Chain A
Amino acid sequence: MNFILIAVTLFGLTALATAVGVVWRRSPCRMTHSVLDELARQRDGVRHVDIDLGLRPELAVRFRIVQTPTTLILDRSGVVRSRIGSAARRDVVSSELDRLLVA
């Protein structure tokens, strides 16, 4: 194979890997991360912790996580008060926080 074809293949492979990475960044997990991060910054007393279950698999078993992302809202003693499966919508999380903070 000639030099130009090899260079094109190597460039194409790098471009493909970059495209996969960009798609991953746009995935439900990453989008949920942005939504929760912003909500936590807007509200006093709310903290956002993002856990990569690939690195903490024991938590997937412990909290019975069957899909990612899963949003758990915990109170100050660590009790799960609300659970939202798949990509979290801003208005849904916001109203859940309102409901729990009022209760």
Chain B
Amino acid sequence: MTNAPPPRPPQSGIDPRSPRFGAAITAALLLLVVGVSLAHALGVSPARRAIEPGFILLAVVTALFGWGAFAGVRRHPYGLLFTTLLRPRLSPPTHREDPKPPTFAQGVGFAIGLSGLVLHLAGLPYALVVAAGLAFIAAFLNAVFGFCLGCHIYLLLARARGARGAAA
């Protein structure tokens, strides 16, 4: 342990309001997926199930999660929308955050969405509703309460890695 003060967050970090803004849009879209999926009966064949509105909408949301996870939250369309439209109208951020945890959280959303899509195609009833419902709760918590569930999973993994590194 050194006596130096804790390192400052990277100056190139993201505005913490940006992921919350994106989560609000995502939460609204996911709630729509749940509603639309409940309104439609499960198709008889995978081809029929693939053209249901709930499936298409969740596929779009999942693709957006994938964009954030693989290209990074900074290059996400919602992030760009925040930077160009909202940010100039807001006060400067009081602090900046590491983009890695929210990027990982996008990956968690991508995995949940993809699972729902695959299980729906396989004919499992309510797969879209359950996947979109779970992702909705996570997005809602982030948007309304500022609690990023995926970021906490990232922390648990970082801790596990740290413990392994210390043991090695």
Contacts and interface: CB of A to CB of B under 8 A. Distances in A.
Interface of A: 1, 5-6, 9-10, 13-14, 16-18, 20-21, 24-25, 51-63, 65-66, 74, 77-80
B69 interface: no
Interface of B: 1, 3-7, 9, 16, 31, 34-35, 38-39, 97-98, 101, 133, 136-137, 140-141, 144-145, 147-148, 151-152, 154-155, 158-159, 162, 165
Given A25-B145, A60-B158, A5 B101 contact: no
Given A13-B137, A17-B141, A21-B144, A56 B3 contact: no
29 contacts: A1-B39, A5-B38, A6-B35, A9-B34, A9-B35, A9-B38, A10-B31, A10-B34, A13-B31, A14-B31, A17-B137, A17-B140, A17-B141, A21-B140, A24-B141, A53-B155, A54-B155, A55-B98, A55-B101, A55-B151, A57-B159, A57-B162, A60-B155, A60-B162, A61-B162, A61-B165, A66-B159, A78-B3, A78-B5
In the A-B complex, the 10 residue pairs with the smallest Cβ-Cβ separation, listed nearest first, are A57-B158, A78-B5, A54-B151, A21-B145, A61-B162, A17-B140, A54-B155, A17-B137, A54-B152, A6-B38
A6 B39 contact: yes
B4 A10 contact: no
A97 to B, nearest CB: 19
B112 to A, nearest CB: 15
B36 to A, nearest CB: 9
A62 B6 contact: yes
Contact of B34 (A5, A13, A18): A13
A63 to B, nearest CB: 8
Given A1-B38, A57-B155, A17 B6 contact: no
B38 A16 contact: no
Contacts of A63: 1, 6
Interface of A is mostly: helix
A9 B35 CA distance: 8
Contacts of B158: 57-58, 60-61
